[in-house]
């Protein structure tokens, strides 16, 4: 046990410092070394070009975003009479090809869509008989004025679609002209800008 204590004491005792040898004085060494003057610091760069670049980049990004949003504005929906008249232009090709069944289907769809969009009638979901009763009971003055004509058109379309009644070219041309006249006489006079945004 005593050996362990002695060993422990030896480890804990500080080691003796080596003897220092006297050397030349320190100030003589410093005098012998040439000290160069300090290097000049570089001139600080102006920061305004960086700020101007950042502002230009941000402005360009905002302008691009604005132009992109401006291009994506939805086009105004076509009015009911514009859609009906556009669909009636397809009827000319069907008259030329003497296709009375396709003409009757186009005529019926155009008429029903126009009644639905312009007069807010559920025309596409009604049978011809139901739609004729609906038109007869309507209080809309424009529909009352054309009630007989509308009923005749619907009956002709039903006969052509389901009974196979053929329409000649003159009948199809006359029906197209009559429907165009009806659409022009009853078209909605509201401007596009009146629609909600």
Measure the CA angle with vertex 121, ends 119 and 123; round to 5°: 125
Other Cβ atoms less than 10 A from the Cβ of 105: the count is 15
- Report residue 133: phi and psi, to 5°: -65, -40
Residue 195 is predicted with a pLDDT of 41
Torsion from C-alpha of 163, 111, 109, 77, nearest 10 degrees: 180
Return the structure tokens found at 91. Answer: 């009827």
- Each residue's pLDDT, cut to its tens digit, for the chain (197 residues) gives 677 777 777 777 666 666 666 655 556 565 666 777 888 887 877 777 788 888 888 888 888 888 877 776 676 777 888 888 888 888 888 888 888 888 888 989 999 999 888 888 888 888 888 888 888 888 888 888 888 888 888 888 888 877 777 788 888 889 889 989 998 888 865 444 334 43
Residue 22 is predicted with a pLDDT of 62
Distance CA 32, CA 24 (A): 12
* Widest Cα–Cα separation across the chain: 136
Q: Which residue has the tokens 């005593």?
A: 2
Global pTM? 0.56
Q: Which residue has the tokens 């009911």?
A: 80
Q: Which of 104, 119, 194 has the alpha carbon at shortest distance from 154?
A: 104
Do residues 85 and 107 lie in contact, with contact meaning Cβ atoms separated by under 8 Å?
Answer: no
Residue 177 is predicted with a pLDDT of 92
Distance CA 186, CA 180 (A): 10
Do residues 106 and 127 lie in contact, with contact meaning Cβ atoms separated by under 8 Å?
Answer: no
């Amino acid at each position: 046990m005593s050996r362990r204590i002695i060993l422990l004491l030896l480890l804990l005792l500080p080691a003796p410092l080596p003897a220092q040898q006297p050397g030349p004085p320190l100030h003589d060494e410093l005098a012998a070394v040439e000290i160069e003057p300090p290097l000049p610091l570089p001139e600080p760069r102006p920061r305004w070009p960086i700020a101007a670049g950042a502002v230009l980049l941000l402005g360009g990004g905002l302008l691009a975003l604005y132009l992109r949003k401006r291009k994506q504005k939805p086009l105004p929906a076509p009015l009911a009479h514009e859609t009906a008249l556009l669909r009636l232009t397809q009827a000319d090709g069907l008259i030329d090809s003497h296709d009375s069944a396709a003409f009757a289907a186009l005529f019926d769809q155009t008429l029903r869509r126009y009644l639905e969009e312009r007069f807010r009638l559920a025309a596409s979901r009604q049978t011809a008989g139901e739609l004729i009763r609906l038109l007869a009971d309507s209080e809309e003055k424009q529909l009352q004025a054309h009630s007989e004509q509308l009923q005749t058109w619907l009956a002709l379309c039903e006969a052509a679609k389901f009974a196979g009644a053929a329409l000649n070219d003159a009948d199809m041309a006359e029906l197209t002209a009559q429907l165009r006249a009806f659409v022009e006489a009853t078209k909605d006079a509201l401007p596009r800008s009146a629609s909600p945004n």
